[in-house]
């Protein structure tokens, strides 16, 4: 601060001004540190909680996947490993299992030390985050492959209605199916129906629900809404197929009653025209899809679940937090 002089003499209260400024700064220092604590320490708390949320999500999904496959294993060890892998020294509380709906909740926590808040008497804050994952058999959703198979076909292909491993099988559509007792008049389940479903407008997919009816798309090739790329993109992937147990009607009024959804790993297909893989799993007038029914656990928004939906080997996980 510049000293004030009048008539060659220093003004008497200049020293007092300097002292007052020092007192003022010292008085403002505490609230300034308080604001720093808010800006820095609270920001660090939010960052730590975001990191813990990622860890809790990963841990809950890992535990749920194990349980959905039929063996929860050591849930605490799984949760500990995933929380530590995603959030360093954080710890996981014992996972909480519930039923109806079936779910698991994992909570991760970690004490976060502060930089500035200790001057206000706050050394650290315990930060935590929780994630809940539900799972169950699919009850409604969108089938990316607009085909349906009968319970009869599914049961015989899987040896009684349960997924049978990774043995690749060629499943022919009903017109040329050789599966005993699984076809109706003229080898078709419904007259004019080959197993193709009416697709959602402009999309190569079919929306359906357990207990509801899916309508038959007539013709011996896929819907006009489907391109060869739609089908080729599914090779090597697992899709959920609606399985029907009842049927009725004829032609464009034919319908299939959805019993449940089964997971099918696609390895090849031939559905007429350009709709086929090389090599083709069937030839001539046959229409078929190759692969195998399998057990499948998937985090998906395409399907909803219900405790009353039949378990045909597919389980849908849903992160609900």
pLDDT tens, residue by residue, 221-242: 888 999 999 999 999 999 999 9
Note the pLDDT of residue 218: 84
pLDDT above 80: residue 18: no
Contact 91, 108 (CB under 8 A): yes
| Domain match, 210 and 279 both | yes
Greater model confidence, 133 or 321: 133
| Domain match, 25 and 42 both | yes
Greater model confidence, 8 or 261: 261
Note the pLDDT of residue 283: 86
Mean pLDDT score, 74-95: 94
Contacts for 190 with CB less than 8 Å, ≥ 6 apart: 184, 216, 247, 248, 249, 250, 254, 255, 256
| Domain match, 121 and 161 both | no
User: Using DSSP, how many helices (H) and how many strands (E) does the chain show?
Assistant: 5, 18
Out of 136, 153, 182, a domain closes at: 136
Q: What percent of the chain has pLDDT over 70?
A: 80
Mean pLDDT score, 188-217: 90
Note the pLDDT of residue 159: 75
Contact 311, 162 (CB under 8 A): no
Residue 1: band (very low, low, confident or very high) from pLDDT cuts 50, 70, 90: very low
Look at residue 257 and tell me if it is in a domain: yes
Mean pLDDT score, 260-286: 92
pLDDT above 80: residue 294: yes
Note the pLDDT of residue 41: 67
Tokens of 295: 């057990």
pLDDT above 80: residue 21: no
pLDDT above 90: residue 130: yes
Look at residue 265 and tell me if it is in a domain: yes
Out of 102, 136, 170, a domain closes at: 136
Note the pLDDT of residue 33: 62
pLDDT above 90: residue 6: no
Expressed as residue numbers, the domain containing 77 is 19-136
Look at residue 242 and tell me if it is in a domain: yes
Note the pLDDT of residue 22: 61
pLDDT above 50: residue 185: no
Out of 111, 136, 161, a domain closes at: 136
Residue 34: band (very low, low, confident or very high) from pLDDT cuts 50, 70, 90: low
Contacts for 282 with CB less than 8 Å, ≥ 6 apart: 170, 172, 176, 270, 288
Identify the bridge partners of residue 92 per DSSP, sorted by sequence position.
Answer: 108
Task: Give the pLDDT confidence of 42-73 residue by residue, as tens digits.
Answer: 777 788 889 999 999 999 999 999 999 888 99
Q: Average pLDDT of the chain?
A: 84
Note the pLDDT of residue 8: 52
| Domain match, 103 and 166 both | no
Note the pLDDT of residue 171: 86
Cα of first residue to Cα of last residue in the chain, in angstroms, is: 58
């Amino acid at each position: 601060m510049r000293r004030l002089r009048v008539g060659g003499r220093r003004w008497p209260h200049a020293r007092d001004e300097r002292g007052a400024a020092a007192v003022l700064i010292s008085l403002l220092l505490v609230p300034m540190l308080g604001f720093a604590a808010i800006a820095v320490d609270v920001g660090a708390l939010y960052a730590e909680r975001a990191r813990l949320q990622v860890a809790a999500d990963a841990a809950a999904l890992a535990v749920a996947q194990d349980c959905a496959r039929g063996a929860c294993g050591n849930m605490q060890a799984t949760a500990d490993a995933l929380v530590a892998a995603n959030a360093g020294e954080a710890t996981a509380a014992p996972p909480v299992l519930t039923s109806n709906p079936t779910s698991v909740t994992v909570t991760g926590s970690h004490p976060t030390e502060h930089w500035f808040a200790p001057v206000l008497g706050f050394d650290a804050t315990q930060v935590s985050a929780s994630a809940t994952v539900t799972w169950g058999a699919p009850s409604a959703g969108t089938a990316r492959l607009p085909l349906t198979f009968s319970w009869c076909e599914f049961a015989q292909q899987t040896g009684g209605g349960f997924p049978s491993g990774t043995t690749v099988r060629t499943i022919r559509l009903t017109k040329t199916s050789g599966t005993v007792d699984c076809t109706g008049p003229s080898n078709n389940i419904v007259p004019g129906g080959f197993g193709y479903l009416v697709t959602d407008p402009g999309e190569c997919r079919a929306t359906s629900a357990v207990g509801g009816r899916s309508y038959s798309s007539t013709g011996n090739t896929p819907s006009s809404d489907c391109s060869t790329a739609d089908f080729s993109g599914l090779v090597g992937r697992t899709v959920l197929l609606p399985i029907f147990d009842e049927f009725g009607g004829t032609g464009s009024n034919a319908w299939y009653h959805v019993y449940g959804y089964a997971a099918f790993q696609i390895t090849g297909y031939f559905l007429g025209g350009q709709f086929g893989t090389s090599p083709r799993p069937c030839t001539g007038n046959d229409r078929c899809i190759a692969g195998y029914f399998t057990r499948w656990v998937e985090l998906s928004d395409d399907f909803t679940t219900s405790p009353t939906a039949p378990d045909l080997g597919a389980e849908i996980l849903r992160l609900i937090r």
